[in-house]
Amino acid sequence: MMFEPPESGQQGAATPGVMERNSLGAHLHGHRRWVWLIALGIGALAIYALVSRLNRQASSGDTSAAHLQAGVPVTAVPVTSGDLNLYLTALGSVTAFNTVTLKSRVDGQLVKVAFTEGQLVKQGDLLAVIDPRPYQATLDQAQGQLARDRATLTNARTTLARDRALYAENVIAKQDLDNQQSSVGQDAGTIIADAATVENARLQLGYCQITAPITGRIGLRLVDQGNMVHATDTQGLAVITQLQPIAVLFTLPEDDIPQVVKKTAGGDELPVDAYDRSLKNKLATGALLTLDNQIDQSTGTIKLKAVFPNSDYMLFPNQFVNVKLLVGTLHDAILVPAAAVQKSPQGTYVYAVRQDGTVEARKVTVGATQGEVTAISAGLAPGEQVVTDGIDKLRPGIKVKVQLAANPAAATPAANTATIHAQ
């Protein structure tokens, strides 16, 4: 019988597999433990974030509640009463009543320029001199001819007197007397022509001195001293523009004509204010002079002309200005800033501040609006407060913390009711 070794060798061969399985199980067990630890950490972080958020919301809620309890900050102004001027606004152009181009009426050399560019000149002031010597010589010649012809006429009259005496004594014939009578008439006619020649020569000499035909401001010099000028020159020596008074031409829509005509027909003088391009600075105050006699069909407008004294020379010809024509005044009107008036499908309203510090949406009736000021026909009374800033945060019944406007004179119309203007 052959000896067979025990099966321990077989068992020893199986031991490594068992060891591998045991190692894998331990590895998987350790991996699951880390997964659980990570999951627990994430859960803890999520719980912390949720708790923090709830705390912030609670804190915010408390703050909002405290904020609402203290009141929503708004800016309010008191309702006032006063006069509201009603204006029609238009774009106008300044036009001079008279503009004159200085020109020489005689030919000659410009020997003197007696004005300064931009100078204010009066009617009759000497402005320029043309060389007068040729015209003085012509005048002297004409005067000499006149003196000679006057001597001839005197001699002819003396001869005529003698011939009459001789004819009375029948010394000369009637024809001789008639011829002498005709000669005296011709000499008398020559004297008249000579006198006209002298007057014309004196006039031409006077034209050598160029004077201001109107009072106004003279412009830039167009011809320098020493140049030859001619009566036929198209370019003048300078231009004089009348600045006092001065006119402004502007147009209004034809729909505005009836109220303007109604005022002028009653004999009222309608004030007109001229403003700069920004419509903020008033340049001058004048009055409506007249309306044109027809409407421009292409634009549906009518031209109007206003006159301004222009005592401070703030208006210049061809200057563009904004014109405000006063057509009426609302007396003792209830006035609020236009910013306080709101519109909704239900109508026009304002937020009025109650005595308890809350606001109500008060329905109002608007009478007229001029620029930043609105006249209220119904719904408000003087002394009440209306909200002008912070309106987007309001709803009826909410409590507000009122802050008066930093510049009440600008925010409330009461401080300037007499000079409220339209935009």
Residues 245 and 220 placed together within one structural domain of the fold: no
| Mean pLDDT for all residues in the chain | 83
Tell whether 173 is covered by a domain.
Answer: yes
Domain count, the chain: 4
CATH number of the CATH domain containing 144: 1.10.287.470
Residues 173 and 223 placed together within one structural domain of the fold: no
Residues 126 and 220 placed together within one structural domain of the fold: yes
Least confident range from 36-40, 124-128, 338-342, 399-403: namely 36-40
Tell whether 12 is covered by a domain.
Answer: no
Q: Which residues contact 361 (CB under 8 A, 6 or more apart)?
A: 349, 350, 351, 396
Of 312, 329, 346, which closes a domain?
A: 329
Confidence band (pLDDT; 50, 70, 90) for 57?
A: low
Q: What is the DSSP letter of 222?
A: S
* Whether pLDDT at 417 is above 70: no
C-alpha angle 305-306-312 in degrees, rounded to nearest 5? 140
| Residue pair 385/352 in contact by the 8 Å Cβ criterion | yes
pLDDT digit string, tens, across residues 147-158:
999 999 999 999
98 backbone dihedrals φ, ψ, rounded to 5°: -140, 135
Tell whether 223 is covered by a domain.
Answer: yes
| Residue pair 243/316 in contact by the 8 Å Cβ criterion | yes
Burial 1-18 (b: 16+ CB within 10 A, else e): eeeeeeeeeeeeeeeeee
Residue 293 structural domain: 88-96+241-329
| Residue pair 328/87 in contact by the 8 Å Cβ criterion | no
The rounded Cα 280 to chain-centroid distance in angstroms is 8
Residues 119 and 223 placed together within one structural domain of the fold: yes
Tell whether 403 is covered by a domain.
Answer: yes
Residues 231 and 124 placed together within one structural domain of the fold: yes
Residues 344 and 415 placed together within one structural domain of the fold: yes
* Whether pLDDT at 304 is above 70: yes
Confidence band (pLDDT; 50, 70, 90) for 406?
A: low
Tell whether 40 is covered by a domain.
Answer: no
Least confident range from 213-227, 251-265, 309-323: namely 251-265
Please give the single-letter amino acid code of residue 421.
Answer: H
Residues 319 and 343 placed together within one structural domain of the fold: no
| Residue pair 296/342 in contact by the 8 Å Cβ criterion | no
Q: What would the two tokens of residue 324 be?
A: 């405000």
SS3 content of the chain, % helix, strand, coil (to 5): 40, 35, 30
Confidence band (pLDDT; 50, 70, 90) for 3?
A: very low
Alpha-carbon Rg for the chain in angstroms: 52
Tell whether 154 is covered by a domain.
Answer: yes
Residues 199 and 143 placed together within one structural domain of the fold: yes
CATH number of the CATH domain containing 247: 2.40.30.170
Q: Could you tell me which residues are beta bridge partners of residue 271? A: 287
Q: Span 69-75, mean pLDDT?
A: 77
Tell whether 113 is covered by a domain.
Answer: yes
Q: Span 375-388, mean pLDDT?
A: 89
How far apart are alpha carbons 307 and 287 in whole angstroms? 6
Q: Which residue's entry shows tokens 């004409």?
A: 142
* Whether pLDDT at 61 is above 70: no
Residues 120 and 226 placed together within one structural domain of the fold: yes
Residues 202 and 246 placed together within one structural domain of the fold: no
Q: Span 79-94, mean pLDDT?
A: 92
